[in-house]
Amino acid sequence: MASASRFVGVLAAVALIEMMLGGFLPEAAETVDLFVLLVVLNSVRGDSLQGLAGGLAAGLAQDLVTSSVFGLYSVACCVVGYGAARAAQRILTSRRAVTLAVLAAGVLVHQLIVIGLLAILEIAQFNPGAGAVLLRAALTTAAGLVVLWVTGRMRGWMERRTRRRTLEFGRGRR
Amino acid sequence: MSERRVAVLFAVSVAVLLALLTLQAPERAGDMALWLEGPVKRSVATVGGAVDRYRQYGSSRAALERENEELRNRLREVESAFAAAVGARLEADLSAEPFRYEPPPRADLVRADIVYVDHRSWRRTAILHLPDGREREDWTRRPVTTTDGLLGRVVSVSGRYARVLLLTDGASSVGAMVERTRRQGIVRGTADAGTLSLMFLPLQVDVRPGDRVISAGIDGVFPRGVPIGTITSVESDGVQFHDIRIVPSADLGSLSHAFVWRREPLPEAIMDGADGIGE
């Protein structure tokens, strides 16, 4: 429950950032996919239901934020979330490099699904080209690296703080 | 929740989302369904086709062998008939030798593309594109045929283009005869573009619908024996002649190429009788 509420909070923050980026820096919003980043990082814990639910929620949010065809990003994020969770069940995702590889693959799969669906349904013309897709995957992976580094540092800082408080509490008791 | 249930939930979610997407593009819904079911149908059709072909192969092989045998027999008959014809020709040549009879020289045919058929003006003509290197020849009044029969004659030439007056034109006339009875008349075009008229055949002449009409070779332009058409109706036109309608052998609705006969027509002076008679 706590992790779900935390995911919703992060998702809201990501949606807000995407909306702001879309308004002020549309190029940046197009080159870094924060939703996929969130979905993959949420899924690499290996729980497929969590991956599926997270992907669906993030996809719906991306559909709302990007004002694209409703359901397009939901399909893509759903597949990426579930796929990343299933992959995490088979490979060791505790290593940062593996997580980043899954993230890069997730961005590529996400883009391919979006381009493929738009082409099949002929809803809109969208063909960013292989270079743009690869750039998006690389930048999102780089963003993922930064997020992993920051969360790792934060986790370490919080652990040290907890340990220090525990020690101070112990001294006070004595 | 078990992995299997999550997998089912995933499949249902994706299906619902895809349906949602398809609803937003209803004109592509059919294509989407076709895209999904197309490969399956094609596979079924391929397997069915292969089975069908195998079955047909078995049944048609016997039929092909029978047909092949019939064709071999027919070829033997034709070869023997040809040999007999060659023999008859040699015999005829030998018989004609004491009389110094010379058969008319054989004409060779020049293939030309039909580049224009005039359907707009009141004249019924076609334009031929003559082969390269033939500009210096005099093509006027030369007969033109298709593989089916007589088409007309060349009336004017400009560069490599020649205008052909079609048989169906009202101004066109050909000396013709009924193949069965060898009775001669004149074939002319009619107001109806698809039919010809055979004129000057007296009422007492035996002529029936279905008789073939060929060129008689008496008009100084067209060679003898080229198919013109088939009689479709015979009616009495007053007291003297039949009113005979012919459908042309050459299909004027599907013209693509024709053959021009390299055959010198009779000099017009001789045909007009201006070669000294009465002087």
Residuewise pLDDT in 10s, chain B (279 residues): 777 888 888 888 888 888 887 777 655 555 555 565 666 667 777 777 888 788 778 778 888 889 999 999 999 999 999 999 999 988 888 887 787 766 666 678 889 999 888 866 777 889 998 887 766 678 888 999 998 899 999 998 888 888 999 998 888 899 999 999 999 999 998 887 788 999 999 888 899 999 999 999 888 888 888 999 999 999 886 778 889 999 999 988 888 889 999 877 677 777 666 555 544
Nearest to A69 among B6, B13, B21 (CB): B21
Q: What is the pLDDT of residues A23-65, one digit of tens each?
A: 777 776 677 888 888 888 888 877 888 888 888 898 888 888 7
Task: Considering only residues B279 and A85, tell me which one the structure prediction assigns the higher pLDDT.
Answer: A85
pTM (2 d.p.): 0.43
B9, B10, B20, B31: which to substitute to probe chain A, counting the most A Cβ within 10 Å? B10
Decide if B25 and A82 are in contact by the 8 Å CB cutoff.
no
Chain B positions touching A74 (Cβ under 8 A) are 17
DSSP symbols for B74-116: HHHHHHHHHHHHHHHHHHHHHHHGGGT--PPPPPEEEEEEEEE
- Which 3 state secondary structure label does DSSP give B149? coil
Decide if A48 and B32 are in contact by the 8 Å CB cutoff.
no
Distance from CA of A25 to the nearest CA of B (A): 28
**Whole-number pLDDT of residue B49:** 80
Angle, alpha carbons B121-B261-B97 (nearest 5°): 150
How far does chain A reach from its first CA to its final CA, in angstroms? Answer: 37
Does residue A101 have a pLDDT over 90?
no
Q: With helix as H, strand as E and coil as C, how does B224-264 read?
A: CCCEEEEEEEEEEECCCEEEEEEEECCCCCCCCEEEEEECC
Q: Round to whole Å and give the CA distance between B226 and A58.
A: 84
- Residue A12, amino acid: A
- Which 3 state secondary structure label does DSSP give B164? strand
Q: What is the ipTM of this complex?
A: 0.77
Q: Round to whole Å and give the CA distance between B80 and B224.
A: 26
Alpha carbon separation from B133 to A92, B76, B146, B263 (Å, rounded): 83, 42, 22, 17
**Whole-number pLDDT of residue B51:** 81
Decide if A121 and B21 are in contact by the 8 Å CB cutoff.
yes
Spell B180-204 as b/e; 16+ CB within 10 A means b: eeebbbbbbbeeeeebbbbbebeee
Nearest to B14 among A72, A78, A121 (CB): A78
- Residue B199, amino acid: M
Q: What is the pLDDT of residues A114-172, one digit of tens each?
A: 888 877 776 666 666 777 778 878 888 888 888 888 888 888 888 888 888 887 777 76
Q: The domain at B108-264 falls in which architecture?
A: Beta Barrel (2.40)
Q: From the DSSP assignment, how many helices (H) and strands (E) are in chain A?
A: 7, 0
**Whole-number pLDDT of residue A62:** 84
Contact A31, A58 (CB under 8 A): no
Chain B positions touching A117 (Cβ under 8 A) are 21
Nearest to B28 among A71, A79, A121 (CB): A121
- Count Cβ–Cβ pairs < 8 Å, chain A vs chain B: 52
Among chain B residues, CA nearest to A59: B17
Decide if A121 and B13 are in contact by the 8 Å CB cutoff.
no
Does residue A21 have a pLDDT over 80?
no
In A, what residues contact B, Cβ < 8 A?
48-49, 52, 56, 69-72, 74-75, 78-79, 82, 117, 120-123
Task: Considering only residues B78 and A4, tell me which one the structure prediction assigns the higher pLDDT.
Answer: B78
**Whole-number pLDDT of residue B278:** 47
Decide if A49 and B13 are in contact by the 8 Å CB cutoff.
no
Contact B214, B179 (CB under 8 A): yes
Q: How many CB atoms lie within 10 A of CB B25?
A: 18
Selection from A55, A112, A56 nearest residue A84 by Cα: A55
Contact B162, B156 (CB under 8 A): yes
Distance from CA of B14 to the nearest CA of A (A): 6
- Domain map (residue ranges) of chain B: 1-103, 108-264
Strands B184-189 and B196-199: antiparallel
Distance from CA of B28 to the nearest CA of A (A): 6
